[in-house]
A and B are shown apart, each in its own frame.
Chain A
Amino acid sequence: MSVAHATALAVLLIVAPALPGIATKTRAVLTGRRGAPVLQLYYDLGKLVRKGSVYSVTTTWVFRTGPVVLLGSLVAAALLLPLDGRDAPAGFSGDLVAFAGLLALGRFALVLAGLDTGSSFEGMGASREVTFSSFAEPALFLCFAALVLATGDASLSGMLGAPVRVAWSHAAASMSLVGLSLFVLLLAENSRVPIDDPATHLELTMIHEVIVLDHSGPDLALILYGSALKLALFGALIVGVFLPRADLAAPAATGVLVLGLALVGVAVGVVESVMARVRLTQVPALITGGAVLALFGIILLLR
């Protein structure tokens, strides 16, 4: 792990909690409100880590390990991404499967922690989370397959690194479709509008928020930070597709990453301001729509 890798990773870990803030701020501005500060999540996290915790009497060690494993797996996934625009610190050929697997590991830990409380609210959220992720997983693999075909490389370092610029020159249409598809997945996997509304607090309609209803204090802080990091990871995927930066010097590449992440945050906010949340039963159709975009990208490459 070189200095450039460590810097890029540290920058990602530091700026991640700003992303939900940017989205919320954009939404507030577009709807004519002042809104919460961009750095709100940092304040929340700072407050939560100092607080105590309340544990339900039905919970076991599964509840307490959930947030820890979630965050551990997300940081591991971050180590597979070429954040400096060239290669990843822990990357290897075929690591895209491990990336998807690590996201699944985090989901497994979080869902079990939710079910450990024995609450039907958590059960509801857990059930929805695993259902929609079942559809998001093939969509993600289709995006990855399109990138593999376009760049001729089966590792994240290649798919989002140096070969991306070449891929844009001969498969621009496919690359844009994959980028769009990844954006749909970002909204779905991170429970944003139109799949879920992070601003509501009606448990019956929610997905992600409702799994963590019984978490409090530092545990909740780990989960909230994990959600922000997951958003940043998907953002980094999209930035990797749209902003190839292998030719830039390491500091500049990291700067472009931060800029790109901010743009993704703004895009999420714009989507949240112009769209309503769809009915839960229609979410799979939406995700499948995203998968179809990636499929078109593949078909264009099959010529």
Chain B
Amino acid sequence: MTAFFVAIGCWLVGASTACALRRREIAWVAGVGGALAGGMAAGLAATRALVSSATVTWAAPWNIPAGTLGFRLDPLAAVFLLPIAIVGALCAVYGVAYLRRHAPGAPIGGSLAAYNLLLASMAVVVTANNLVLFLVAWELMTLSSWALVVSDHPLAAVRAAGRQYLIAGHLATAALFLLTILLAADNSTFAIDALAGGNPRSLLFLLAVVGFGTKAGIVPMHVWLPDAHPAAPSYVSALMSAVMITMGFYGLARFLPILGTPALWWAYLFMALGAAGAVGGVIFAIAQRDVKRVLAYSTVEHAGLATLGVGLGLLGTALNQPLLAGLAWTAVLFHLWNHALAKALLFLGFGAVAQGAHSRSLDALGGMLARWRTVGATLVLGSATIASLPGLNVFASEWLLLRGLLLGVLSLKGAALVAVLAALSLMALTGGVAVACFTRLVGIGLLGAPRTRGAATALEPNWAMRAPMVVLCAGCLGVAAMPGHVAGALAPAVMVIAPGAEVAGVRGIVQPLAVLVPLLATLTALMLLARALFGRAAPRRRSVTWACGYARVGPTMQYTSTSFSEPLTRLMQPLLRMTGRYEADLIRLRVARWPDERVAWTSEAPDRVLVGLYEPLFLGVGRVGAWARRRSVAHTTTSLLYIVVTVLALLGLLFLPSVGP
């Protein structure tokens, strides 16, 4: 616990010093120093808690009427603390170099202060043992991340994304507020480890789904994510996509068990939302042209997979299948770790690419792998791992989830079996489209010939930006090489979430997967050897790309990102409802050579949930509000009536827990 408090101290000192030195050239020392030292201490604390699988609590009296200031570091908290420490430190190192490249000479102390504050607040979220402390940290996390999202606030799109994030975040916090109040009232305590059940159970469950699901990026509460994550500077995008979404899953893992044995429909709800998120996320990802939006939708996809795992875990508990619950919950935690490593790598790498080429559009990039050797290689590997290809880490956790589903196929009956089979085929579809999505991201974004001058002249960033990517890449490979050990390390945390689950056998089930890494390495080495032996005597030549004899191949003749994904987006059009606009200057066109800048086709894939659900909903609420305000301005009695109705409704809420099921 001492190490943990040292970490919090480092982050807070880093934040306040960076803030104090806001305009000084030396502020980055405080910011990065705080993040690194805090990361090391928190990593130590988390590792110790995981290895000893002991629960440490610490409490101090608090002067406000909400119990004690309590912290608890148990294996579950440690599982979520570790990515905060590691990814947080790596992104800070990258962040300083990124910010200096972004706007040389501009003060960066403020950003680094908010960054350290975000790390500290997330660490408190996962260790808070008091509901009020939890909520305060949760709110601080939302606000500090919002401040980072709107770093580039002169841009209108960034402000809009920030506003949307703030609204979504606070609606979620409102749900959590209600959840907290109802739980605290029912249990007459604010200590999280003393909570046991609450009424009405279904309402509490739904509040948790909305409150935590928003942060976790679960469909349909994900709408803020594809706008806010790309709007932030890339080192913040990486932290948000890799680590902050796990806070939502932490909330679910911590609070769902409090509500007791899960109802069957909870499991089905999570499985349905998870499958919708996985399939919808990856399909929307392939329809985007903005590299960071592709990555953000891929985060929605992976949040969906984790949600599916949560559903399967609840199903296992509800149907009294301990091994199923153990497999599924291990898969969820494992997947969140793997995704944190891979997605942080991709956001850092493609962030550097977009910064170097001065564009986030896939169609303005290309050809960078030839010159950006380190970044290019890590990004090919990162894309392969996030597309869940065997021999890499994300595959291990997706495999574990699929293994759970296969166990369900063998052991479940009736509706549960149908649900498991549906989940299995939808996960397969997700995997197939994910390969399409990430071959597109690498193939169009990094390979081929440079599409713009910016892409052709961009210089590879310095070591401070490359080193974190190399470390994350090594992490991906390391986890892939020993999946059994990692699954074994997660076992105590799974026991916290689902005490009845069987976790002893999980490690043995995962271990055979380790054979894939040496197998693939050996076979690829053999093939390389064979390739080297063939055609040794024959000449090797370099020439232009074959274009049916056409000799002047230009970069504009390459396949674009839109044309690459066209067959899939056309088939998915009923779901995507992409909109396109064709612009042509017809008079000029007649004399112009073609292709020409005067002919333009732009297509967009706006989020269906945002356009179809939230926009009408919020516009409707706005209309009702405007109507009500007009009435109350006109008649004082009406405004008095509003007050009476509100008070009565609040009184009604007091009786709610006792009328629940």
A281 to B366, CA, bound (A): 28
Residue pair A72, B527 in contact (C-beta under 8 Å): yes
Cβ-based interface call for A11 (8 A): no
Residue pair B425, A142 in contact (C-beta under 8 Å): yes
Determine the chain B residues whose CB is within 8 A of the CB of A116 once the complex forms: 369, 443, 447-448
Residue pair A76, B523 in contact (C-beta under 8 Å): yes
Determine the chain B residues whose CB is within 8 A of the CB of A71 once the complex forms: 523, 527
Within 8 A of A (CB), among B415-431: 417-418, 421, 424-429, 431
Whether A54 contacts B543 in the complex (CB less than 8 A), given A69-B524, A302-B417, comes out as yes
Tell me how far the C-beta of A94 lies from the nearest C-beta in chain B, rounded to whole angstroms.
4
Residue pair B432, A49 in contact (C-beta under 8 Å): no
Whether A104 contacts B544 in the complex (CB less than 8 A), given A120-B557, A120-B559, comes out as no
A94 to B567, CA, bound (A): 32
- Select B432's contact among A123, A135, A281, beta carbons within 8 Å: A135
Cβ-based interface call for B439 (8 A): yes
Residue pair B429, A134 in contact (C-beta under 8 Å): yes
Residue pair B417, A105 in contact (C-beta under 8 Å): no
Tell me how far the C-beta of B569 lies from the nearest C-beta in chain A, rounded to whole angstroms.
10
Determine the chain B residues whose CB is within 8 A of the CB of A96 once the complex forms: 406
Determine the chain A residues whose CB is within 8 A of the CB of B403 once the complex forms: 93-94, 97, 154
Residue pair B571, A131 in contact (C-beta under 8 Å): yes
A291 to B432, CA, bound (A): 14
Residue pair B432, A115 in contact (C-beta under 8 Å): no
Residue pair B539, A108 in contact (C-beta under 8 Å): no
Residue pair B512, A93 in contact (C-beta under 8 Å): yes
- Select A149's contact among B367, B391, B409, B436, beta carbons within 8 Å: B409
A280 to B424, CA, bound (A): 27
| Interface-side segment among A20-28, A213-221, A238-246, A252-260 | A213-221
Using CB atoms, name the residue of chain A closest to B282. A134
Tell me how far the C-beta of A139 lies from the nearest C-beta in chain B, rounded to whole angstroms.
8
Tell me how far the C-beta of A44 lies from the nearest C-beta in chain B, rounded to whole angstroms.
14
Within 8 A of A (CB), among B488-525: 509, 512-513, 515-516, 519-520, 523-524
- Select A101's contact among B399, B537, B538, beta carbons within 8 Å: B399
Tell me how far the C-beta of B476 lies from the nearest C-beta in chain A, rounded to whole angstroms.
15
| Interface-side segment among B205-213, B339-347, B528-536, B616-624 | B528-536
Determine the chain B residues whose CB is within 8 A of the CB of A90 once the complex forms: 515, 519
A107 to B443, CA, bound (A): 13
Residue pair B538, A76 in contact (C-beta under 8 Å): no
Using CB atoms, name the residue of chain A closest to B387. A108
Determine the chain A residues whose CB is within 8 A of the CB of B443 once the complex forms: 111-112, 114-116, 123, 126
Cβ-based interface call for A235 (8 A): no
Residue pair B559, A123 in contact (C-beta under 8 Å): yes
Tell me how far the C-beta of A43 lies from the nearest C-beta in chain B, rounded to whole angstroms.
16
Residue pair B439, A130 in contact (C-beta under 8 Å): yes
Within 8 A of B (CB), among A186-215: 203, 213-214
- Contact code string A120-147 (vs B, CB < 8 Å = 1, else 0): 1111101110110111111011100100
- Select B369's contact among A62, A92, A221, beta carbons within 8 Å: A62
Whether A98 contacts B399 in the complex (CB less than 8 A), given A56-B546, A62-B369, A126-B564, comes out as yes
Residue pair B538, A298 in contact (C-beta under 8 Å): no
A128 to B571, CA, bound (A): 12
Whether A154 contacts B543 in the complex (CB less than 8 A), given A69-B524, A72-B520, A104-B389, comes out as no
Determine the chain A residues whose CB is within 8 A of the CB of B407 once the complex forms: 154
- Contact code string B448-489 (vs A, CB < 8 Å = 1, else 0): 110000000000000000000000000000000000000000
Cβ-based interface call for A152 (8 A): yes
Within 8 A of B (CB), among A83-105: 90, 92-98, 100-102, 104-105
Residue pair A119, B543 in contact (C-beta under 8 Å): no
Number of B residues, CB within 8 Å of A = 84
Using CB atoms, name the residue of chain A closest to B431. A137
Number of A residues, CB within 8 Å of B = 82
A51 to B559, CA, bound (A): 30
Cβ-based interface call for A163 (8 A): no
Residue pair B399, A203 in contact (C-beta under 8 Å): no
A55 to B391, CA, bound (A): 28
Cβ-based interface call for B223 (8 A): no
Residue pair B542, A284 in contact (C-beta under 8 Å): no
- Select A137's contact among B429, B516, B530, beta carbons within 8 Å: B429
Within 8 A of A (CB), among B531-577: 531, 534-535, 537-548, 553, 555, 557-559, 563-568, 570-571
A100 to B435, CA, bound (A): 12
- Select A112's contact among B410, B442, B527, B537, beta carbons within 8 Å: B442
Whether A119 contacts B558 in the complex (CB less than 8 A), given A130-B436, A131-B571, A134-B435, comes out as yes
Which among B535, B538, B557 has the highest number of chain A CB atoms within 10 Å? B535
Determine the chain A residues whose CB is within 8 A of the CB of B384 once the complex forms: 105, 108
Tell me how far the C-beta of B255 lies from the nearest C-beta in chain A, rounded to whole angstroms.
31
Residue pair A118, B531 in contact (C-beta under 8 Å): no
Cβ-based interface call for A52 (8 A): yes
Residue pair B428, A141 in contact (C-beta under 8 Å): yes
Cβ-based interface call for B7 (8 A): no
Cβ-based interface call for B640 (8 A): no
Residue pair B543, A218 in contact (C-beta under 8 Å): no
Residue pair B512, A120 in contact (C-beta under 8 Å): no
Tell me how far the C-beta of A155 lies from the nearest C-beta in chain B, rounded to whole angstroms.
9
Residue pair A101, B388 in contact (C-beta under 8 Å): yes
Tell me how far the C-beta of A256 lies from the nearest C-beta in chain B, rounded to whole angstroms.
26
A111 to B442, CA, bound (A): 10
Whether A115 contacts B439 in the complex (CB less than 8 A), given A73-B520, A100-B428, A145-B421, comes out as yes
Determine the chain A residues whose CB is within 8 A of the CB of B567 once the complex forms: 127-128, 131, 280
Cβ-based interface call for B644 (8 A): no
Residue pair A120, B558 in contact (C-beta under 8 Å): yes
Residue pair A56, B545 in contact (C-beta under 8 Å): yes
Whether A148 contacts B406 in the complex (CB less than 8 A), given A57-B542, A105-B384, A133-B432, comes out as yes
Residue pair A58, B527 in contact (C-beta under 8 Å): no
Using CB atoms, name the residue of chain B closest to A45. B534
Cβ-based interface call for B380 (8 A): yes
Determine the chain A residues whose CB is within 8 A of the CB of B366 once the complex forms: 118
A142 to B440, CA, bound (A): 26
Determine the chain A residues whose CB is within 8 A of the CB of B425 once the complex forms: 138, 141-142, 145, 291
Determine the chain B residues whose CB is within 8 A of the CB of A4 once the complex forms: none
Determine the chain A residues whose CB is within 8 A of the CB of B534 once the complex forms: 49-50, 217-218, 221
Residue pair A134, B436 in contact (C-beta under 8 Å): yes
Using CB atoms, name the residue of chain B closest to A134. B432
A205 to B429, CA, bound (A): 25
Residue pair B535, A141 in contact (C-beta under 8 Å): no
A184 to B559, CA, bound (A): 29
Residue pair B439, A112 in contact (C-beta under 8 Å): yes
Residue pair A131, B568 in contact (C-beta under 8 Å): yes
Determine the chain B residues whose CB is within 8 A of the CB of A102 once the complex forms: 390
Cβ-based interface call for A185 (8 A): no
A226 to B558, CA, bound (A): 27
- Contact code string B380-414 (vs A, CB < 8 Å = 1, else 0): 10001001111100010001001100110110000
Within 8 A of B (CB), among A266-303: 280-281, 284, 291, 298, 302
Tell me how far the C-beta of B612 lies from the nearest C-beta in chain A, rounded to whole angstroms.
24
Residue pair A118, B555 in contact (C-beta under 8 Å): yes
The 20 sampled A-B contact pairs (Cβ below 8 Å) are A49-B534, A49-B535, A52-B539, A54-B542, A55-B540, A56-B545, A60-B369, A76-B516, A94-B402, A100-B431, A108-B439, A115-B559, A117-B448, A118-B447, A138-B425, A138-B429, A141-B427, A142-B428, A145-B409, A148-B406
Interface pairs A-B: 7 shortest CB-CB:
A123-B559, A115-B443, A118-B448, A52-B538, A92-B512, A134-B432, A137-B432
Given contacts A98-B513, A119-B553, A134-B432, 18 further A-B contacts (CB under 8 A): A49-B535, A55-B543, A62-B380, A76-B520, A94-B403, A96-B406, A98-B399, A101-B399, A104-B388, A107-B435, A118-B553, A118-B555, A119-B547, A131-B571, A138-B429, A218-B531, A291-B425, A302-B418
